[in-house]
Amino acid sequence: MLAKRIALPTPENDSIDPINPRMSELSQLPVASAAVAPAWHTIVLVAGIVALSIHSASRLSAAHGPINRLRSYGFTAAMEAGIFAWVVVGLRLKKTSLRSLLGSCTLSFRSITQDLGFALIFWITSLMVLGSLGLAWSGVEAALTHRPPLTRAAGQTGQTGQAGQASPVEQALRPDPSQLEAVRALAQLAPANGEEIAAWTLLCLLAGFVEEVVFRGYLQRQFIHWARGGVGPGVFASAVLFGGAHSYQGVRGMALIAVFGVLFSLLALYRRSLRAGIFAHAWHDLIAGLTLALLKSSHVI
């Protein structure tokens, strides 16, 4: 029947179906319909993520002057470790293995290099998608808020080659004050010396692993279970929560990060593993922080 859902992996249906091997192959996708933890455990986790997001946003906006970045990195690492520990507790309550969340991956050199390659392609493609969406967001926002036209000084030229009103692309690229304020706030967290760069690198590695396990592993599978096996609702719910967990980046940032979450989910489903997403997540955060540090030291922001 067309309405029948794909059978998902369980200890009982784990073997290959000799009649329809393709269906057996699809059944290995890491989107099991069984609950990975008790419902109350997930509700507590979601509430904790929302509370930490609100706390981080208020803490960053209230900061005036230099902040102790190493202390901030340590606090964030402790929160990541605490969330991971809570997830492990929930898995044990339902006798779900952590490996089942990580998906199908081996430690062979070929498998690791393949995931690195997929992670690189995914990351570049995602930046293009998010960049296009960010540009479109800025253009719509400028139109809705009736932002005054950007003009060029005499001697400056753009696509028209003349002075005067800037092109629509230049209008959209011009950041609004709230966006600049969010970037400056994030720049406060960017590492500024060797010790901070080392700490930032370790934090990014930890966050890449924990957040993929939490959002694309635990929460996505749990939401799919609550949606009675519906992959779309599960992906959407986990992505929205992923975006909401970054409220310190503002509404625009949360929306784009939610889209990023959807893309990470698609990568996990395609690779049947979280490893490629962990690679891409970790180095994205690392490069973003180092880029902000460079821009800040160059007095660009």
Q: Which residue, among 63, 69, 124, has the nearest Cα to 287 in the 3D structure?
A: 124
Q: Is the pLDDT of residue 208 over 70?
A: yes
Residue 128 one-letter amino acid? M
Whole-angstrom Cα distance, residue 299 to residue 297? Answer: 5
Query: pLDDT class for 131, splitting at 50, 70, 90?
Result: very high
Kind and range of the H or E element at 74?
helix 69-93
pLDDT tens digits, 70-122: 999 999 999 999 999 999 999 999 999 999 999 988 889 999 999 999 999 99
pLDDT tens digits, 220-251: 999 999 999 999 999 999 999 999 999 888 88
The pair of three-digit structure tokens given for residue 142, joined into one six-digit string: 């400028």
- Sequence-distant (6+) residues with CB within 8 A of 70 are 195, 196, 199
Residue 282 one-letter amino acid? A
**What is the residue-averaged pLDDT of the chain?**
81
Q: What is the CA radius of gyration of the chain?
A: 22
Query: pLDDT class for 298, splitting at 50, 70, 90?
Result: confident
- Parse the chain into domains and list their residue ranges: 36-61+68-297
pLDDT tens digits, 33-62: 689 999 999 999 999 999 999 988 887 766
Overall residue count recorded for the chain in this entry:
301
- Sequence-distant (6+) residues with CB within 8 A of 79 are 52
Whole-angstrom Cα distance, residue 103 to residue 268? Answer: 9
Query: pLDDT class for 182, splitting at 50, 70, 90?
Result: low
Helix axes 39-62, 231-244, angle to 10 degrees: 30
Q: Is the pLDDT of residue 167 over 90?
A: no
Name the burial class of residue 260, with classes exposed (0-12), middle (13-18) and buried (19+) by CB atoms within 10 angstroms of its CB.
buried
pLDDT higher for 182 or 27? 182
Residue 172 · residue 139 · CB < 8 Å: yes
